[in-house]
Structure 1
Amino acid sequence: MPDTVSRLAPWWTARPALLRFIADLVAGELAALRHEPMLRPGSWSEALSLQHDLGLDSLEFLHVAGVLAGALQMHHSGIEDYLLARRTLKDWVDIAEAALQHHDRDILFATSGSTGHPKRCLHALDQLEQEAQALAALFPGRRRLLVAVPSHHIYGFLFSQLLPRHLGLAPEGVSCIRARLPSQLAHLAQPGDLVVGHPQFWAAASSLRQGFADDILGVSSTAPCPDAVSEAVTACGLAGLVQVYGSSETGGLGWRASHRDAYRLLPYLARSTDGDRRLVRSLPDGRTELLQPQDELAWSGPREFSVGARCDGAVQVGGVNVFPARVRQALLEHPDVADAAVRLMRPEEGARLKAFVVPRDGVGGAELVRRLRPWTDGRLTMPERPKAFTVGAQLPRNGMGKLADWSSNA
């Protein structure tokens, strides 16, 4: 690792940063378990009781403690079982700190995918630090970070846990704004701020067309940011919206300063010379490894590219990878559905999934939709649930017999 990295104190030695990581993880897991997507850690303090304030039952304790132990690789220390015997956030921060003193070389992140079983991706900390150092070169002189993404996912971890140290910011220079309405951003942000968001956050932040102060930069990731959103925030006075491309599996791969530009590879990456889709990463210890992007990349230069379709069939809904095939299967399991197709809405229709369903004999369209909504609510996560249903006698197809798009209706 470069000397500038080796001189930095480990990220977890800043107790407020470790507390924020654990609080975000607990809130995220509980939100998924309880189907409460709006659960936010907000101003949770170390005194918070996981049992009495959050109401964790024994099964929830077992699940959340297991996820935290896995994320921080606590099995190397052998003290992860203490999580089940301790009941406050302070206790869990203490246990995590002790475990990280023993082993902090890697960290586990979950994909945001909605396959039913998110993939766990282990990343070496020195490689994450390498990425954070490269990202810091894009944002010199930032005085505060306003963060609208959770810090226990890889994007949030890089930008709210590692990046501040490379920018020379103290923990108090990082403010979580996830519990604030995005439309308040113009009043919250100050000159010199870097705002870390995602496409839906930026769309909401620009919806009221309020002007930003000078010298406020934004960054967006987790999903492609629509050009109209990028144009809207810059029209409101945002000094720039940097878009970062990557995934939980690979980490960040490239960036662009404007939606009009091609993405550029991060400095330690290069195209494979073997003619395949992989990238070559130069590691901090001098070795190299091959990375497989999750999307098709169209190259316009040695280090410039645009992003094409997902290779695994996923689409992005609210920054989450959603698999229409899985949603279709859930619809087909309903006894009144004979066939179904699921697609992402067109931009003019919205930003969620839509479904075309063919009913079994004797089932009316309105009645079928009425039955399907609670069915999907009970089986699918919020980003997976279709928000518009169209009922017809057969799936729409084009002249070649291939599945075709349709106009959605609520």
Structure 2
Amino acid sequence: MDVSPVARNSQQSCAWWRDDASVHRLVSDLVRAELAAQRPGTALPFSGLLPLDCNLINDLDADSLEMMTLAGAMSECTHMHESGIEDYLLVKPTIGDWIEIARHALEQYSAQLTFRTSGSTGEPKRCSHALWTLWQEAQALAMLFPGRQRVLSAVPAHHIYGFLFTILLPQALAQQQGGAPLPVLDLRGGGAGGLMRQARDGDVVIGFPDWWRSMLRSGAHLDADVVGVTSTAPCPDDLAQGILDAGMVRLVEIYGSSETAGIGWRDRHGAAYRLFPHWSRGDDGESLTRLLQDGSALAHVLRDRIDWRGEREFLPAGRIDEAVQVGGINVFPERVREVLLRHPQVRDAAVRLMRPEEGSRLKAFIVPRDAACDTTALAAALAAWIRTRLPAPALPKAYSFGESLPVSETGKPRDWPIPPIAPALPLE
């Protein structure tokens, strides 16, 4: 791919791979996520960064097919194939080896990165981005967080949200302030308690709605000058207010997608989002135009319905593709339904997101082939069966049963309540 002088200068100014911690974080998160995807129903213990001497074959029991998948994912993300050294990943199986190979490859080619959509209930989509457009966003983000000194993160670095906020933002803030990239602390192993123990003045905390909700349930209260960030799913107004009531001095909500990266932001719940400086509204109201640093422009078709409040402010009005968010991951209930329908004891099924008062996971309504069956036993069997076929965010957490699917008086599908005493389901 030809790279313009403007793009080349931008790439060199954000040579993120020269920061050892950034590459280590990316490799660790990508390896852990890919192994988890290859082993449905088997949770890999979280232990922070994988040790440099961790051998994927000997220590993580990766077989030859898993190694090929891991190497392919690493090459895909960093475009390692452009430098022609991706084959070394299969013969040098330690995390330290992979970091060195990635750094060497990125010194030769760093113009693009590819991230995947979650693919929780379907084929993940590959979304490629020019590094300099990501850096353009990181610089815009740095203007929202002046003077921040550390990043505390509850999100993985190999997803676009995590890459922007835990790899590029620390470097953009360092350039803004002068100095080395900001340190990044991982909060995923300690929950809200980890945040309370580690937070101090000058921190910015990167989370997503379900993680913030778990923090609030702990009853913890922050007494430091800490700014929060949330994305990947809508943050309800009551949750946003709860985060502020818990001592967060400011909460920034980011709106975007894997296809576009960040589009807009707000720091007052209920208010309209503001477009980042490099975005503008398309003439048709259904697209956006991104102004690139070389003066060209790139159009993007929006995947959400948008309620525009002028030329630069907007409110999302629902997804066009009917995806729902579970734990910050896109989940497609229709795909979950298709998997349930393959079970021999299921005649029909419906799947949807729980109502807010019920929870934040999926629920399923099942029409059994045998109307007289033991529904408690069937619920347990379905939970165990689907665990081996779908990742955790796509697993229904409540099963209801009936002779036919719930419909309204006009014959349209309708919601159903979770039974007062739901069947006990095995934990994933």
TM-score bracket, normalised by the shorter chain, equals: over 0.9
SS in 1 for 2:69: helix
2:316 to 291, 307, 314: 307
Question: Which residue of structure 2 lines up, in the alignment, with residue 392 of structure 1?
Answer: 402
Is 1:219 aligned to residue 229 of structure 2?
yes
Equivalent-residue separation in structure 1 for 2:182 and 2:268 (angstroms): 29
CA–CA separation in structure 1 for the residues paired with 2:333 and 2:44? 23
> Which is further off, 341-350 or 256-265?
256-265
The 1:63–1:289 alpha-carbon spacing in structure 2 relative to 1, beyond 3 Å, is: same
- How far does the alpha carbon of each residue in 1:12-38 deviate from its partner, in whole angstroms, 9 at most, with x for none? 011121111111110111122223445
Report matched runs for 1:55-134 at 5 Å: 55-134=61-140
Note if contact 1:31-1:39 (Cα within 8 Å) is conserved in structure 2: no
User: For residues 382 and 130 of structure 1, what CA distance do their matches in structure 2 show?
Assistant: 34
Gaps of 5+ in 2: 1-5, 423-428
In the aligned structure 1, how far is the partner of 2:8 from the partner of 2:107?
21
Q: 1:330 aligns with which of 333, 339, 353?
A: 339
Partner secondary structure for residue 379 of structure 1: coil
- Write the distance in 1 (CA, Å) between the matches of 2:369 and 2:14: 63
Q: CA deviation at 1:44?
A: 2.3
Match of 1:31 in 2: 36
1:99-124 Cα shifts (integer Å, max 9, x gaps):
11111000010101323321111100
Unaligned regions of 5+ residues in structure 1, if any?
none
Which AA in structure 1 matches 2:259? E
Note the alpha carbon deviations across 1:197-222, whole angstroms, 9 max, x for none.
11111111122222212320000111
Q: Whole-Å Cα distance in 1 between the matches of residues 394 and 127 of structure 2?
A: 22
**8 Å contact 1:23–1:41 — kept in the other structure?**
no
* Selected match of 1:182 from 169, 178, 192: 192
**2:215 maps to which of 187, 201, 205:** 205
- CA shift, 1:6, in A, is 6.5
Letter in 2 for 1:61: M
Distance in 1, Cα, partners of 2:103 & 2:47 = 20
Note the C-alpha offset of 1:247. Answer: 0.7
Question: Are the equivalent residues in 2 in contact too, given 1:16–1:171 (CA < 8 A)?
Answer: no
Report what 2:3 is aligned to: none
Instruction: Select the residue among 335, 340, 343 that pairs with 2:352.
Output: 343
Aligned-residue identity in percent: 47
Q: Deviations over 1:42-87 (max 9, x none)?
A: 1423222222222212111111011001111111111101100002
Paired with 1:94 and 1:84, the residues of 2 have a C-alpha distance of: 14
Matched position secondary structure for 1:131: helix
Partner of 1:151: 157
With structure 1 as the length reference, what TM-score do the two structures score? 0.96
Give per-residue Cα distances to partners, 1:106-155, cap 9 Å, x unaligned.
00101013233211111000000001011111100001111111111100
C-alpha contact 2:173 2:182 (8 A) present in aligned 1: no
| TM-score scaled by length of structure 2 | 0.92
Deviations 1:247-298 (A, max 9, x none): 111111111102121111111111111x241111101111111112221111
Are 2:11 and 2:111, in contact at CA under 8 Å, matched by a contact in 1? Answer: no
